[in-house]
């Protein structure tokens, strides 16, 4: 029997979606050509974790507490454990705002749980999680900042934007608890090498598993959209490697944001492109008419900052740039 020679990849046609529990979903798609299943499944799994939007507490301010290693009179947990428990509680801002600042106050004997943090601004999707236990003489007042985001952001970064008196928290934004896939072989037209991709997705309730999957698909399409012009046009401008390497040098000197004095000196010398500065030696730059020491120092500093110090070009790069500048001036 002669082996069939394909001229295009098989396009999957079958899709099944099955709810398997609270915030749990199984999605199956098939048939894929051999090797195509994992090619699509692996990036989608990564995007489920990395691109799905969720909410997390990013900082907390507790009355009478100076730092996370402090303690609160009448509370069983120390502040460090209180923070660990707070990070485990999954918030959801009700009005879809990117940020909420919520105040809480508790007094007297009580076990504080996630459900006790629900108010007009935020909902809690993990109501049974324990936060703290306080006795009859205790009073605790605290303020929590909840923000919307993706992925994981460490407290070191959040601390840069945290208000005085607040303790920055590691923020685990992703609402996806589990994202797994299996690749199964499936028989199509006597060929057992086709593949079936089975996703298993579980979220914490901030978002449904199907919406999380939709977001990951959307993120994949958006990331790939940079290549749309290749599909849409047969007349694409293809830049050579040198153009990319010297892109900043082929810009107008306006883009350097120089002082008026420095710009005017270059302009009077009929220097229009940044490359023309890079092609000068120190002495040639210093010798420009009406260029004072301050302007000389400023231009040198700016050129160093963009990675092309004055007089540093190799002879090969200088030759390429002279040619490109000539082409620009002809245009």
3-state secondary structure of 189: coil
Phi and psi angles of residue 318, each rounded to the nearest 5 degrees, phi first: -60, -40
pLDDT digits (tens, 9 = 90+) for 287-299: 998 899 999 999 9
Say how far apart CA 206 and CA 243 lie, in whole Å: 47
- List 146's β-bridge partners, or say none: 57, 100
pLDDT digits (tens, 9 = 90+) for 55-85: 999 999 999 998 888 989 999 999 999 999 9
In this structure, are residues 60 and 86 in contact, taking their beta carbons and an 8 Å threshold?
A: yes
Cα–Cα distance list, 40 to 24, 34, 89, 195, 267 (Å)? 21, 12, 33, 12, 54
Phi and psi angles of residue 125, each rounded to the nearest 5 degrees, phi first: -95, 0
Confidence of residue 236 (pLDDT cuts 50, 70, 90): low
Phi and psi angles of residue 94, each rounded to the nearest 5 degrees, phi first: -70, -40
Cα–Cα distance list, 185 to 7, 168, 191, 197, 285 (Å)? 22, 48, 10, 9, 69
Say how far apart CA 100 and CA 57 lie, in whole Å: 9
* 29-43, 148-162, 220-234, 283-297: least confidently modelled range: 220-234
Six-digit token string for 219: 């993120």
pLDDT digits (tens, 9 = 90+) for 43-54: 999 999 999 999
DSSP secondary structure string, 44-74? Answer: HHHHHHHH-EEEEEEEEEETT--STT---TT
Six-digit token string for 28: 């199956």
Q: Average of pLDDT values for 219-233?
A: 80
pLDDT digits (tens, 9 = 90+) for 299-330: 999 999 888 999 898 888 888 889 888 888 77
Nearest to 133 by CA among 192, 74, 49, 211: 74
Six-digit token string for 104: 């809480």
The verdict on pTM exceeding 0.85 is: no
Domains and their CATH numbers in the chain: 14-52+176-223 (3.30.1360.10), 53-172 (2.170.120.12), 241-330 (1.10.150.20)
In this structure, are residues 134 and 140 in contact, taking their beta carbons and an 8 Å threshold?
A: yes
Six-digit token string for 287: 């010798």
DSSP secondary structure string, 124-186? Answer: ES-TT-EEEEE-TT-EEEEEEEEEEEESEE-HHHHGGGPPTTPEE--EE---EEEEEEEEEEE
User: Helices (H), strands (E): how many in the chain?
Assistant: 11, 14
3-state secondary structure of 155: helix
Say how far apart CA 281 and CA 251 lie, in whole Å: 19
Confidence of residue 242 (pLDDT cuts 50, 70, 90): low
* pLDDT number for residue 235: 53
Say how far apart CA 35 and CA 193 lie, in whole Å: 9
Q: Average of pLDDT values for 18-24?
A: 95
**Summary mean pLDDT of the chain:** 90
Q: How many CB atoms lie within 10 A of CB 237?
A: 7
């Amino acid at each position: 029997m002669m082996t069939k020679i394909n001229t295009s990849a098989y396009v999957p046609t079958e899709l099944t979606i099955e709810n398997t529990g609270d915030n749990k979903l199984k999605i199956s798609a098939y048939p894929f050509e051999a090797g195509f299943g994992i090619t699509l499944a692996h990036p989608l799994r990564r995007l489920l974790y990395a691109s799905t939007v969720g909410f997390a507490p990013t900082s907390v301010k507790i009355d009478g507490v100076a730092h996370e290693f402090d303690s609160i009179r009448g509370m069983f947990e120390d502040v460090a454990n209180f923070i660990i428990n707070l990070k485990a509680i999954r918030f959801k801002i009700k009005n879809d705002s990117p940020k909420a600042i919520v105040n809480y106050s508790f007094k007297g004997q009580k076990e504080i749980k996630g459900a006790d943090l629900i108010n007009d601004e935020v909902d809690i999707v993990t109501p049974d999680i324990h936060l703290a236990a306080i006795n009859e003489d205790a009073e605790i007042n605290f303020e929590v900042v909840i923000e919307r985001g993706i992925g994981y952001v460490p407290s070191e970064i959040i601390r840069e934007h945290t208000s005085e008196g607040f303790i920055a928290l590691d923020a685990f934004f992703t609402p996806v608890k589990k994202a797994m896939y299996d690749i199964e072989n499936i028989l199509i037209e006597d060929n057992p090498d086709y593949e079936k991709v089975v996703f298993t997705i579980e979220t914490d309730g901030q978002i449904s598993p199907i919406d999380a999957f939709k977001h990951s698909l959307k993120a994949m399409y958006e990331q790939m959209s940079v290549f749309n012009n290749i599909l849409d046009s047969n007349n694409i401008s293809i830049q050579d490697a040198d153009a990319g390497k010297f892109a900043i040098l082929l810009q107008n000197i306006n883009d350097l944001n120089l002082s008026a004095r420095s710009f005017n000196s270059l302009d009077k010398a009929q220097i229009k492109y940044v490359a023309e500065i890079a092609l000068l030696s120190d002495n040639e730059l210093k010798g420009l008419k009406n260029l004072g020491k301050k302007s000389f120092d400023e231009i040198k500093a700016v050129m160093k900052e963009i990675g092309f110090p004055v007089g540093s070009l190799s002879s090969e790069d200088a030759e390429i740039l002279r040619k490109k500048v000539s082409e620009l001036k002809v245009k």
